[in-house]
Amino acid sequence: DAKTTQPTSMDCAEGRAANLPCNHSTISGNEYVYWYRQIHSQGPQYIIHGLKNNETNEMASLIITEDRKSSTLILPHATLRDTAVYYCIVRDAGNYQLIWGAGTKLIIKP
């Protein structure tokens, strides 16, 4: 079963920051939070991951709360090409499996 809950869908205006929330209240100490996105009919694209600390890369920032029970993916300047389904995933460091939730359909509007 999925260990994450996300909003089913969200809208964001082009050029604005898109903030995608994720709840993972049952996360354990050795589980990583991963974010992937999937543009229609393409393979999932890795975005970012974190364990405890906030992380930033060229695509996005990941903010993890201190109790690690939730996180937020931030796309700083959303473009139309960021329209996709965004998956928040919890993964045990000792396990190959990614536990996928249903994802958030993010629609960027002009």
Partner 1 sequence: DTEVTQTPKHLVMGMTNKKSLKCEQHMGHRAMYWYKQKAKKPPELMFVYSYEKLSINESVPSRFSPECPNSSLLNLHLHALQPEDSALYLCASSPGLYGGPDTQYFGPGTRLTVL
d(CA 13, CA 71): 21
Contact call for residue 100 and partner 1 (CB under 8 A)? yes
d(CA 24, CA 16): 26
Phi-psi map region of 81: left, alpha, beta (phi>0 left; psi -120 to 50 alpha): alpha
What are 37's two structure tokens?
A: 């996105």
Among 45, 54, 57, 65, binds partner 1 (CB under 8 A): 45
Contact call for residue 96 and partner 1 (CB under 8 A)? yes
In degrees rounded to 5, what are phi and psi of residue 45?
A: -110, 125
Contact call for residue 53 and partner 1 (CB under 8 A)? no
Choices 8-16, 57-65, 70-78, 100-108 (CB under 8 A): range interacting with partner 1: 100-108
Among 51, 59, 74, 107, binds partner 1 (CB under 8 A): 51
Return residues touching partner 1 (CB under 8 A).
32, 34, 36, 41-46, 49, 51, 87, 91, 93-94, 96-98, 100-103
